[in-house]
């Protein structure tokens, strides 16, 4: 008897990190995947090539395949404004956004949604490396490339459960069907969409209310926003299982004895002694959340083991495996990522783009590299965020010796109205910081920064803009000089 034909899915914007991760999951499930995107090359091109996924670098309507059963598109595109999506609608082909497609996957198995204004990418990645170490039968989708996953954003060890990073922007996470939620932080952000903190909190409350009866909430007890959301939801949902973590938490996941030193972060989670080789006390919190999630999954989906000895031996072995996996954790792309070193200058890149994340990231890097002059090159992302949080941005860079700023990186979802500019941010920051340089275009800064950099410096590009390219250009210049 002939096998049924595989479902054919076309993905618009397939080179995006989440879209490529979803493509990998679909390919593993026997779906025939193809897609389209811009000609610009991304790290995901290599992954798609390894998956033998055909990518059309053209969004013209005529490139939508004749034989396609479903279209999935990046949430960055709107059906009414995209030629291929318009053509798909005209042909009556079912269309779903990335969050909707991820939500459909989550409905098919036990699912853990990792959410929060900060920390969700690293926490998801840490959960993934722990799932990997324990050999648990599930899959993990992260919003960035993970070194421990071979540079990919997915871990696939089975289909019994799904762990996925879920995004609060435009309430996208409400398409997800969680059985458990890891909640890292709640505070004002995406203020081009949300009115204020109360509106942000309402979205997270709605997300937790999607949990089934007896669902689990793993939340950061040190974060006031997360605590407030959990308090409000728990008042209406006494059935939920609450699992706090952090220095303020009681029980198994209390974080304590956190010690930062050059190149090492040592801490305790309950009775477990742990180490990380990525900077920042906030990563100790992320690790505590990851351990709580891994414990939950291990209890529900124990790995097949040949161990015949006592349970205490198996538990000790698992605990040692988790500690070893965290010690080996090398981070994710654009999260304190080491880009390279030349001429005695260490180049790093980080995605932090909210004042809280900037402050904690810089503090961690300063503790990790105390003897280096820290030069932070920052490009603010979105006019609305910059205007709403201007004072917070201005005071967030205290751990940097020198701050370099550029124009605001505009989002496709908003237009410049003259209210705020990169120069305004520089002026506000100069009232708080001793050394602030401004170059409207990052390329304008290549020559002066090349002259300024000295052996022993740490040059950090930071933000959700495109200034990450600047760090790589400067690295190339110093490498060429060294030759």
211 plus 281 within the same structural domain = yes
Residue 3 forms part of a structural domain = no
- Give the domain extent around 417: 337-482
- For the chain, the residue count is 483
| Tokens standing for residue 154 | 């997915």
pLDDT (0 to 100) of residue 308: 46
CATH of the domain at 281: 3.40.1190.10
- Is residue 296 domain-shared with residue 186, that is, in the same domain? yes
pLDDT at 315: 67
- Same domain for 363 and 268, yes or no, is no
Instruction: Assess whether 323 and 344 both reside in one domain.
Output: no
Give, to the nearest 10 degrees, the angle between helix 120-134 and helix 281-300: 40
| Run means of pLDDT, 10 residues per run, the chain, 483 residues | 69 94 92 95 90 95 95 93 96 96 96 94 95 96 88 91 94 97 91 87 97 98 97 97 97 95 93 92 95 97 62 67 92 84 95 90 92 96 91 95 94 72 95 93 96 96 93 95 80
CA-closest candidate to residue 264, choices 250, 274, 278: 278
**Domain end (from 53, 76, 97):** 97
Residues 288 and 149 in one domain: yes
The total of structural domains in the chain comes to 3
Same domain, 376 and 476: yes
Query: Could you tell me if residue 82 is inside a domain?
Result: yes
Same domain, 268 and 316: yes
Residues 433 and 320 reside in one and the same domain? no
In sequence order, the β-bridge partners of residue 332 are 146
Residues 116 and 247 in one domain: yes
- 89 and 121 within one domain: no
Question: Is 1 part of a structural domain of the chain?
Answer: no
Helix (H), strand (E), coil (C) string for the chain: CCCCCCCEEEEECCCCHHHHHHHHHHHHCCCEEEEECCCCCCCHHHHHHHCCCEEECCCCHHHCCCCCCEEEECCCCCHHHCHHHHHHHHCCCCEEEHHHHHHHHHCCCEEEEEECCCCHHHHHHHHHHHHHHHCCCCEEEEEEEEHHHCCEEEEECCCCEEEEECCCHHHHHHHCCCCEEEECCCCCCCCCCCCCHHHHHHHHHHHHCCCCCCCEEEEECCCHHHHHHHHHHHHHCCCCEEEEEECCCCCCCEEEEEEEECCEEEEEECCEEEEECCCCHHHHHHHHHHHHHHHHHHHHCCCCCCCCCCHHHHHHHHHHHHHHHHHCCCCECCCCEEEEEECCEEEEEECCCCHHHHHHHHHHHHHHCCCCEEEEEEECECHHHHHHCHHHHHCCCCCCCEEEECCCECCCCCCCCCCCCHHHHHHHHHCCCCCEEECCCHHHHHHHHHHHCCCCEEEEEEECCCCHHHHHHHHHHHHHHHC
β-sheet bridge partners, residue 96: 72
Q: Are residues 317 and 375 in the same domain?
A: no
Looking at residue 39, which CATH number applies to its domain? Answer: 3.40.50.720
Whether 72 is in a domain gets the answer yes
């Amino acid at each position: 008897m002939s096998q049924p034909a595989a479902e054919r899915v076309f993905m618009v914007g397939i080179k995006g990190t989440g879209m490529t991760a979803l493509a990998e999951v679909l390919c593993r499930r026997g779906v025939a995947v193809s897609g389209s995107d811009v000609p610009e090359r991304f790290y995901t091109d290599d992954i798609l090539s390894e998956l033998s996924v055909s990518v059309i670098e053209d969004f013209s309507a005529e490139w939508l395949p004749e034989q396609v059963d479903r279209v999935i598109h990046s949430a960055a595109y709107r059906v009414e404004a995209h030629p291929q999506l318009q053509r798909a609608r005209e042909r009556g082909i079912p269309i779903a956004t990335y969050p909707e497609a991820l939500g459909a996957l989550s409905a098919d198995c036990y699912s853990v949604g990792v959410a929060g204004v900060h920390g969700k990418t690293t926490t998801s990645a840490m959960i993934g490396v722990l799932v990997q170490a324990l050999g648990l039968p599930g899959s993990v989708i992260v919003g960035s490339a993970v070194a421990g996953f071979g540079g990919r954003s997915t871990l696939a060890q089975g289909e019994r459960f799904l762990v996925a990073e879920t995004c609060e922007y435009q309430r996208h996470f409400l398409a997800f069907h969680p059985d458990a939620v890891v909640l890292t932080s709640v505070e004002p952000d995406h203020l081009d969409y949300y009115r204020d903190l109360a509106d942000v909190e309402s979205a997270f409350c709605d997300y937790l209310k999607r949990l089934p009866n007896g669902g689990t909430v793993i939340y950061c007890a040190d974060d006031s926003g997360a605590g407030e959301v959990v308090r409000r939801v728990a008042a209406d949902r006494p059935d939920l299982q609450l699992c706090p973590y952090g220095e303020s938490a009681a029980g198994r996941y209390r974080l304590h004895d956190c010690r930062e030193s050059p190149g090492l972060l040592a801490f305790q989670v309950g009775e477990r002694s742990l180490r990380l080789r990525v900077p920042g006390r906030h990563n100790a919190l992320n690790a505590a959340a990851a351990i709580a999630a891994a414990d939950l999954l291990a209890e529900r989906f124990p790995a097949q083991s040949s161990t015949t000895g006592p349970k205490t031996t198996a538990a000790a072995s698992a605990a040692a495996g988790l500690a070893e996996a965290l010690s080996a954790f090398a981070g994710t792309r654009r999260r304190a990522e080491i880009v390279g070193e030349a001429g005695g200058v260490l180049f790093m890149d980080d995605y932090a783009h909210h004042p809280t994340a900037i402050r904690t990231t810089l503090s961690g890097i300063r503790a990790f590299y105390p003897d280096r002059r820290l030069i932070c090159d920052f490009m603010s992302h979105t006019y609305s965020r910059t205007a709403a949080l201007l004072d917070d941005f201005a005071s967030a860079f205290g751990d940097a010796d020198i701050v370099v700023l550029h124009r605001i990186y505009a989002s496709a979802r908003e237009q410049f109205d003259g209210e705020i500019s990169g120069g305004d941010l520089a002026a506000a920051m100069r009232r708080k910081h001793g050394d602030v340089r401004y170059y409207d275009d990052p390329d304008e800064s290549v020559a002066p920064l090349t002259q300024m950099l000295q052996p022993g410096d740490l040059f950090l590009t930071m933000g959700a803009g495109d200034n990450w390219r600047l760090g790589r250009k400067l690295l190339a210049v110093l490498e060429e000089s060294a030759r």
